[in-house]
Structure 1
């Protein structure tokens, strides 16, 4: 092999990378902790494939347009396959087809890699770990309460502190525009864009109808203060159009622990385009950008009807890179001729043993901090 070919052989496509020890094991540990936590709440794991026929995946994929999928041609069927950029759509497919007859509410969990066609500046990696849970058959307040608290519990079990949950109401503009603050379809979309950007001047420039939405920019921030402003907006309309949404948010927030920071951005739509009445983002102290998100949505069933659901997804790669998931290990070097039964007993006690294969093996160089001397464990 030429030097050029050797160099190429060590390269990976942009946005893809190897996980080496101990990060690879930390990734598995963290995913297992999250999945074990949600399993304790009755969520059964499913394992969809990494690729599906493009038309099957795009039919259900609401979080990414078809043009953003990485596609290949299946040499067996000669049909186009798409590598999944998100697992939620696959879980929806399983619930609507293979588990269509299962009792509702149906609780499912999942974990595995997803592949993005393009990365962004905040997250340059294109392959990401996604772990989550979906509660299918209802999008009630009680279901949202369960999902939010299970997500928090899973992160805390993984050792994450300084958690912030940011609530949003994805259908808020539609609700107001169809009732006390009327807007046409075109103006509605423009108002959404400017509210996302928090651009008060642009809202005013759109005209009187759009300017009525200005108070929503201020109804963002720490949860309780933002909720009071949202309640004042609803009272000012005199119609109580969002009273039920406000009551639902308070009910979802009530059981959340005191150590969790709650915020509200009622008009946030970026990333929540396919959510229905409730959505939330998850942040952790010391990390840039969200580490997870969730909310209510609908699943397309056979025959064209839609089924409500609520769930969350975590993207824990930044946590893994920061050392979460790494467990302390005791590594024991076993010299040639060691007591095999004693070594076996020590493994049951949690030791990881590294057996010498020749008299040249060096336990310390192999990462061991102890060695077996007869039946005694000695430190280096």
Structure 2
């Protein structure tokens, strides 16, 4: 019977063995892919001084920074904050401890993040975040590498039906500068109406010239063709050529689509952003893009995968054979079995039931013997 003190806070939950095994397997698979591509893992602390952490989150929505848990450090009497995003921490590491490291710098990370309040669509307040950052490079080649790395990591985790949705976060700013001029007030209004896909509101905001952007969405080839038709004066040519080159780097590893005006989740991205999806997932598996590291203004390209979501559809790892070790067992034989990939479970008391404890074998001498009904 559950007692009141045993209940967990809203948005937090235990991960039981089967689910924890899926998350761990997905994490290992993704990190192995990043390591194989030369990305070194870093492990920032779970909490930092609030001022430093928030300062590194410049450009992130106010809602995200205000959702961080805060408390006073009894040692320094300064306010600390629990991280809600690991990307700014990686930027801090690149700008400080690794400031003199050769560029481009490739870093990977994985760790827990927490928020005070989550959304109705995603009520979890604790998330396992995994990602990679390519720092010191702002090029088509860098963007192509990062997108392909994200796709490979998702495939290694067992996901199928992967698709990538490209966006151009600075699209309105680029067009408003010359091709389709807007006042500062109009720019914000046009962005808002494009976000809501409201054609009438877009006209009322003075953005009639931006109407074709609402329909330049869908499969990359057709969406790019529609955008090139909009590209008054060649204002977008370099960006559209870049999208084609990035898609070519991905090839047939994933389906590529384009929604050029999508801004949700891309508040601090610069010229390129992308959202990752997979078969069976109702929500995005991850996001990424190009940006500038707050504080140093160094160019970077990266992505984040939401491991908890990915584990929902990732395959269950194959069960490892487990052998029961009776009292007085051959320790050398048990060590050899573990080296070969077996799991072992040592007897602690009389009357234990090896099968009930999950064992399919029992060690007899130096040989594992199949239990009746075992596997």
Query: TM exceeds 0.5?
Result: yes
Pick which of 6-15 and 53-62 moved more.
Answer: 6-15
Q: Indicate yes or no: 2:40 matched with 1:44.
A: yes
2-structure distance, mates of 1:73, 1:201 = 49
2:92 is paired with a residue whose SS is helix
Deviation, 1:75, is 1.2
Whether the 8 Å CA contact 2:115–2:125 is kept in 1: the answer is yes
Q: Is the 8 A contact 1:64 1:85 kept in 2?
A: no
CA distance in 1, matches of 2:335, 2:104: 45
Q: 2:348 aligns with which of 334, 351, 357?
A: 357
Gaps in structure 1 of 5+ consecutive residues: none
Measured against aligned partners, the alpha-carbon deviations of 1:28-72 in whole angstroms (never above 9, x if no partner) come to 222122111111111111110000000000111133423221111
Residues 72-221 of structure 1 mapped to structure 2, 5 A cutoff: 72-207=71-206, 210-221=207-218
SS of 1:255's equivalent in the other structure is helix
Alignment pair present for 1:258 and 2:257: no
Number of aligned residue pairs: 368
Confirm or deny that 1:19 pairs with 2:15: yes
For residues 22 and 91 of structure 1, what CA distance do their matches in structure 2 show? 31
Q: Shift in Å at residue 232 of structure 1?
A: 1.1
| Map of 1:331 onto structure 2 | 322
Matches of 1:27 and 1:286 in 2, distance apart?
16
CA distance in 2, matches of 1:24, 1:165: 27
The one-character-per-residue Cα deviations of 1:95-154 (angstroms, maximum 9, x if unpaired) are: 111111111111111100011121112221110000110011111111101101111111
Stretches of structure 2 that go unaligned for 5 or more consecutive residues are none
By how many angstroms is 1:206 displaced? Answer: 2.4
TM-score (norm. length: structure 1) = 0.93
In terms of mean alpha carbon deviation, does 121-130 or 79-88 score higher?
121-130
Normalised by the size of structure 2, how large is the TM-score?
0.94
Q: Name the residue aligned to 1:31.
A: 27
In 2, Cα distance between the equivalents of 1:14 and 1:257?
42
Aligned residue number for residue 378 of structure 1? 370
CA distance in 2, matches of 1:326, 1:54: 39
For residue 347 of structure 1, report the CA deviation from its aligned partner. Answer: 1.4
When the two chains are superposed, the root-mean-square deviation of aligned CA atoms in Å is: 1.6
Whether contact under 8 Å (2:274, 2:287) holds in the other structure is: yes
